[in-house]
Structure 1
């Protein structure tokens, strides 16, 4: 190849790089991150405009084409016609005037500055507000401010008192007695339990705030919280009765009282936004067939602003490079959006075909599946499958699942077959749900039960899978009379 040809190829590759980089970036984003990225582009690029949503976006996605051919044995519903990947620009009306200046980006939103929006006060705001009502010296107020600033989201003070203020903050330096006195003040500013340094102190503060004079259950609850929380966590009823010398009725009343306490009282004031997973695709069943659809309700709606694009093409003079770059980026964004949707849909459909029995029978029917198998099915790179499954979700009749839920390594069985790690976890959960609460299954027992089903795994593997299911050990599951 000549030098000129190499240079042309190099320049051509360099021209494609930004679009390819954006395509990869879009694919690996979660739906929420992708929505935010498109929203930023709509607000800054004058050649993009937001389209109007369908009247019924969930129903509209029923006609999306399923672009993956069925695997052997797979059955799919007929797909509707697909939209063209790149819609050509539509010419403007003949009498459309050219404004002659830079097209303005769309407004970020028509917000009413006088509209009332209720504000939720954070824990720190509430404590500082209560602190401001007290007649304190400047030194005591500053000590309390350091303590309030050091509380975490749970409402706990997890730092040593002598480390809260930097050297030289107080003259003379604050004593340990001052810190403790101020801490007791902060603990009484708002909800009981705020300002505790550990779980025992948090629960004790809440019990002390209740009027339990003359109540045996209240006194017993304070004794349990003060010295026997570990036994309570292990459900060691026999041990509690023995060391406390009480009968079962009062013990149950005391434990019921403890269960009404809040171990993390600060969380009720947490004003950080809650992030919920958004399904990228919808899997449902029509008759005997499963189908996969894009969740159009979660898809950002952007398209090329054809009027502005045509005005720019007809404009003459001036420096066209900035606008040309904006127009090119708008085209790239639209095409990369479409590429993201197509790839996620193809991967989701391939997963559905490989894991069809899961949709019929649940986790126990999960088969071993690796990323490279889906990549081979779709003739794409394994890294593309990895990006298309990371942080992506599908809503199914069985619930909301991350794409990665369907990928699980292969485990050997007694015969010639195999099963997935996900299926083993599901079997462990079923066995524990069916156990006798008075005689729960140990990890050794679970290993033997799995072996009776023809699944040979080590006891440490069972322990690991039980931990992944967030199921307590056998000592904590045992129910005592």
Structure 2
């Protein structure tokens, strides 16, 4: 095969490392970006925390936007210096032989503890171990007087407790698993220990089913005038209550409507999932990236700069780029300086893009901020991308895991995007507004005769919104609203 040279002309898109970094920072959430900044501060000596106020970012005219930064580093440093000077001035030159060092000298741990309690402190930020339902029950078991035999049975029962508080297996199965270890163990002993564990906190834990759980919790209402009627309903007619067959309940329990309503109210005070009180899940935090406020009749979009530590280039190290003697040091400093500049530029680009997209969203959804969810307009990624002059993929990255603090609550930026449904007048209505209308109709529906999905679709059609019954059912299920037969109420 003969080798030859050929000349070709073509176009190719190449992503530089700087562009890849900017795209990666753009799609990070606030918490992830905080971690990224701290890691970059540790790896790059040319970056440091900026104690000075940041200059506000300029955005295009339209929706009024501004940024504000509250720096507390100087206040914290001055407070620590004041506390340190107080205890250093009080240390005497000579101490007596029988004196205690802790009485005179205040350790650094005490200083930090004192300073943290004097200011604002987030107690949930401490890395304390999470407590499960088993840990909570074992702690109470260690404080309860039981025989060694009963304690071993109690350990076996607690191991079978699920996160919702119910047992995963029956007491008979627990008894069969213990007969090999405990001689002459009776099933009544296992049931007796189970009944004792059911009175632990939270009451009703270690139950077999819902009926057993509610009956145990009802023991706290034995002085209630309707205790016997409530106990009878839970013990015998709980399935009828679940199906909301109030006419059958009233006939079988021989209770009038007002008495049956009070009995149901008493049952609703009980906890059907006692294990949910002990939540072992880690707390999820949401830090708003932008906030929206109305001032002087104008909606203003502000960037939350307090969520991110302000950073700058260290002037001392950057000046060494031209004064360092060794060439390797000069190369390292210049490389780190270039990386630091690109990192700061990427952060500024992220903030500008986020503020620009948020301002465009607010300008298109002003009716939502003024009137509520029912006034939400349909909007897709293409609409915002065309308005700000960016690609749809960029808008998708900006709106993912980014949150906006509004007078109506905290919403993810993706919340403001929704598909549209054509109206009878030729206009468009967003799916979010339709969900709000369905929710309002369900809230105002008759208690004894809830609206079916077909009836909801008919009411919406009378308002000019043409939606199918299955679409109404899909929206209703998305809002965790039960069907009409499960929404029936006595009064």
- How far is 1:288 from its partner? 4.0
Cα distance in 1 for partners of 2:299, 2:144 equals 65
Q: What aligned pairs does 1:336-415 form with structure 2 within 5 A after superposition?
A: 336-415=346-425
Q: What aligned pairs does 1:48-67 form with structure 2 within 5 A after superposition?
A: 48-52=47-51, 63-67=56-60
Alignment deviations for residues 410-463 of structure 1 (CA, whole Å, 9 cap, x no partner): 212223222211121122223333333344322211111111111111011111
Q: 2:211 corresponds to which residue?
A: 200
Question: CA 1:368 to 1:359, structure 2 compared with 1: closer, same or farther past 3 Å?
Answer: same
Contact 2:199–2:216 (CA<8 Å) still a contact in 1? no
Contact 1:124–1:148 (CA<8 Å) still a contact in 2? yes
Q: 1:47 corresponds to which residue?
A: 46
Alignment deviations for residues 312-342 of structure 1 (CA, whole Å, 9 cap, x no partner): 6633338547766655544343222222211
Alignment deviations for residues 254-283 of structure 1 (CA, whole Å, 9 cap, x no partner): 222222222333333335443243221122
Q: 2:240 corresponds to which residue?
A: 231
- How far is 1:218 from its partner? 1.4
Note if 1:265 corresponds to 2:277.
no
Note if 1:157 corresponds to 2:167.
yes
RMSD: 4.0
Q: 2:198 corresponds to which residue?
A: 187
Q: Which of 240, 247, 253 is equivalent to 1:244?
A: 253
Alignment deviations for residues 192-228 of structure 1 (CA, whole Å, 9 cap, x no partner): 11223443332222123x2616x55212222332343
- How far is 1:124 from its partner? 3.5
Cα distance in 2 for partners of 1:363, 1:408 equals 12
Cα distance in 1 for partners of 2:418, 2:374 equals 12
- How far is 1:33 from its partner? 2.6
Cα distance in 2 for partners of 1:164, 1:22 equals 56
Is the radius of gyration larger for structure 1 or structure 2? Answer: 2
SS of residue matched to 2:205: coil
Contact 2:57–2:352 (CA<8 Å) still a contact in 1? no
Q: In terms of mean alpha carbon deviation, does 395-404 or 342-351 score higher?
A: 395-404
**Could you list the runs of 5+ residues in structure 1 that have no partner in the other structure?**
55-59, 70-74, 84-109
Cα distance in 2 for partners of 1:225, 1:181 equals 22
Q: 2:105 corresponds to which residue?
A: none
Contact 2:66–2:303 (CA<8 Å) still a contact in 1? no
Q: Which of 438, 445, 458 is equivalent to 1:428?
A: 438
Q: Work out the number of aligned pairs and report it.
A: 430
- How far is 1:27 from its partner? 2.0
Question: CA 1:243 to 1:367, structure 2 compared with 1: closer, same or farther past 3 Å?
Answer: same
Cα distance in 1 for partners of 2:111, 2:237 equals 55
Q: Which of 291, 294, 309 is equivalent to 1:300?
A: 309
Cα distance in 2 for partners of 1:191, 1:264 equals 10
SS of residue matched to 1:431: helix
Note if 1:275 corresponds to 2:284.
yes
Q: 1:443 corresponds to which residue?
A: 453
Cα distance in 1 for partners of 2:32, 2:313 equals 21
Q: 1:36 corresponds to which residue?
A: 35
- How far is 1:146 from its partner? 4.6
Cα distance in 2 for partners of 1:45, 1:158 equals 53
**Length-normalised TM-score, structure 1:** 0.75
**Length-normalised TM-score, structure 2:** 0.74
